[in-house]
A and B are shown apart, each in its own frame.
Chain A
Amino acid sequence: MNTLKIARYQLRDVMRSRWVLLYGIFFLLMTDALFRFGGSGERVLLSLMNVVLIAIPLVAIVLGTMYLYGSREFTELLLTQPVRRRSLFLGLFAGLALPMSVAFVLGTGLPFWAHGGLAGGTGSSLLLLLGTGVGLTLIFASLAFLIALSTEDRIRGLGISLGVWVFFTVVFNGLVMLAIYMLADYPMEKPVLALSLLNPVDLGRILLLLSFDISALMGFTGAVFRRFFGSGLGQGVAIAAMAAWVVIPFALGLRSFHRKNF
């Protein structure tokens, strides 16, 4: 009950600061513009993919960090009341992740609906895109909470957030590339598959790729990837990895929230 109350309060606070609105409008305008200039739903999805994979983690992690620092006083106030820390944490998290997910889903989904881009096979691809976007929102919001709870210094926390974002979007892939070149003599298909599970951005990208870029992926290597992620087992593993990425940072954040001496 308390969780809901806190979430509702935070929701009102978040709406008042209008950034969620801007965030939603950003996706709305972007998708709409892509439709107006680009045409078919499939193309729009391809263009959106880059935005989703780069912008969502960035916004979620940066805003999440700021949000938790910003609600520091509110948190301290509530902790003096008979409120369980668990409910408070959940409420804070829902107050951030919920409006962001809704803004993203509406901002992207509405133009699709308005332009009739759901025809053909794009419906399921759009669902996948929305699912990936929401998943990344949750993951990076959890990471943000974890970071904000572990450092007192706001600027430093923000720096770490940006660092984490750069690591998952750029550095990680650089390391994968390095590994591929260094270990060129070994069959690398499976290790590379395993590596991709360690990065939620990569995981999202590969899942989306398999629904769009099938023809290029049909080479031998592509066939290996496709067979893995296309099979029931592969999809199960991918979804489980995605879920683990949400749950583990969230649980860690909750634990440090419990232990933190405010």
Chain B
Amino acid sequence: MSRERPRRARTFAAMTVVGIALLLLALAPRPEGTALELPGSEAAASARATAATQAPTGHDTATPHQSHEGHAPATPSRPETFTGTEHVVGRGERLERISDALEVAEAGDRIRVRGGHYREGPLTIDRSIELIGEGWPVLDGEGEHSILTVTANDVRIQGFILRDSGFSHIRDHAAITVEESRGCRIEHNRLENNFFGIYLARAHDCLVRHNDIRSSATREATSGNGIHLWDVDRVQVEDNHITGHRDGIYLEFAQGAVIRSNRSEGNLRYGLHFMFSNESFYVNNVFARNGAGVAVMYSRDVIMSRNQFLDNWGTSAYGLLVKDVQDSLIEENLFRGNTVAIHSEGSDRLTFRLNRLERNGWAVKILANSQDNYFTANNFIDNTFDVITNSRQNPNTFDANYWSQYRGYDLEGDGTGDLAHRPVRLFSFIVETKPVALILLRSFFVDILEVAERVLPILTPETLTDENPLMIEVPGGEPWA
């Protein structure tokens, strides 16, 4: 056998391998940040500026709320020095039962409750008093009834452990119920294993702060909400930690609410459930590992900023679900590791800007009944699918975002890619209609289809493009941290 033939065959095969390897290299995803063309950072800065000037009406609504921020709570101011009578409750004191103290106290008095275990049945506060626990007294609902009910204005409850409220299919038993009043302050309490935690109904100008609310609900039907607000105006909910309830924080008909710096995690349904609550503001909250994330519905003029939506995984889990919401602003939030980061349905004139959407299954799922929404200066990073919609029409605008999947170039050097980016991938369309096709995710076959579709769009919406995709991430620290 001659030595020539194998050598020729070998050369031929080697060339084939090299050729195909080069082809593969060309097709392989370009690692993010390699940007052969390094745009100046002013590009991103200008994008930010554009975003600021182009923000629609949602921004104006910020003004009334921001006056709340950083100031004293909206409760009527009280004199610095306490002038009422003090009553002390505790073992060995003149008053051994809280109910006795509640009977003798008059408006403006303070009741100090010493540490101990109090089983007194449902208690009602019908006068404007302060109820202060010292040494973590336990108020026990014994699994049968509501614990504290407030019907007077300007009541303050602080420093208690409230435990084991009753469960009922008919009545909303809660650890603390406030009804038809104003100016309550509920601070520094620990709520354990209650049906509802803090329940405000027609209670206005209240402050709910620094409470630690835990339960261990296992079924939606038999569990209540951590903080339940119904028909309340100007309530502030701050620095609470809520876990193991049905909804962490629930708002219905809450006008002008401020929800700030709360941590709502591991709740059965929503971390925050928000309905018919206009002109509200929520900022710096963390919503993690809730059954279905956060839902904002039937509201307008809402501002959501600097929140973190993390690890909401599940068959119908969203980071943020916006349904029938109008004229709102969603900015500087972090969405990471959610099945669907933002799901928008029937929502109009929302501005999404400066958000970071990272490692989500679907970053933005926007149905075509959502119109005139504006996405700018957001970072879309390593999501499986960046944008998906259910129509070939596109009534929304995507402009000057950073897309880690963008593969264009920037010859002009102005910081934005010269080719428009189409964030809707063909494969996401296929998966939308035939979910089983998900098994082909990241296969070479799908990559080839994508390339073909990108050259000549047939199925994906032609007009859903970002004409000015940024070449580098929108800078800016981590405002949510």
* Residues of chain A at the chain B interface (Cβ within 8 Å): 19, 26, 33-34, 37-39, 43-44, 46-47, 49-51, 53-55, 58-59, 62-63, 65-66, 69-70, 72-73, 154-155, 158, 162, 169-174, 176-177, 180-181, 184, 188-189, 192-193, 196, 202, 205-206, 209, 213-223, 225
Contact = CB atoms under 8 A, between A and B. Distances in A.
A213 B439 contact: no
A220 B359 CA distance: 19
Contacts of B96: none
Contact of A206 (B6, B16, B439): B439
A177 B445 contact: yes
Nearest to B35: A37
18 contacts: A19-B14, A34-B31, A39-B32, A58-B17, A62-B16, A70-B6, A158-B9, A158-B16, A171-B445, A176-B440, A177-B437, A192-B436, A206-B439, A213-B442, A215-B313, A215-B361, A217-B438, A218-B314
B49 interface: no
A73 B439 contact: no
A62 B21 CA distance: 12
Which of A44, A54, A55 has the most chain B CB within a 10 Å cutoff?
Answer: A54
Interface string B326-353: 0000000000011100000000000000
B435 interface: yes
B315 A173 contact: no
Interface of B: 1, 5-6, 9-10, 12-14, 16-17, 20-21, 24, 28-29, 31-34, 313-315, 317, 337-339, 359-362, 382, 384-385, 430, 434-448
B168 to A, nearest CB: 34
A39 B315 CA distance: 31
Contacts of B20: 58
B31 A37 contact: yes
Contacts of A192: 436, 439
A71 to B, nearest CB: 9
A181 B434 contact: yes
Contacts of A215: 313, 337-339, 359-361, 384
A173 B440 contact: yes
A30 B445 CA distance: 22
Contacts of B385: 216
A47 B31 contact: yes
A218 B385 CA distance: 13
A135 B135 CA distance: 63
Contacts of A214: 313
Nearest to A153: B9
A223 B361 CA distance: 13
Nearest to A165: B20
A55 B5 CA distance: 26
Contact of A55 (B6, B24, B361): B24
A184 B443 CA distance: 20
Contact of A59 (B17, B339, B359, B444): B17
A79 to B, nearest CB: 14
Given A192-B436, A225-B438, A225-B439, A70 B10 contact: yes
Nearest to B314: A218
Contacts of B32: 37-39, 43
A63 B438 contact: no
A222 B441 CA distance: 11
Given A73-B1, A215-B339, 18 more contacts: A50-B444, A58-B17, A66-B9, A69-B9, A154-B6, A158-B13, A162-B16, A169-B444, A177-B430, A177-B437, A177-B440, A192-B436, A193-B439, A216-B384, A216-B441, A220-B435, A221-B438, A223-B315
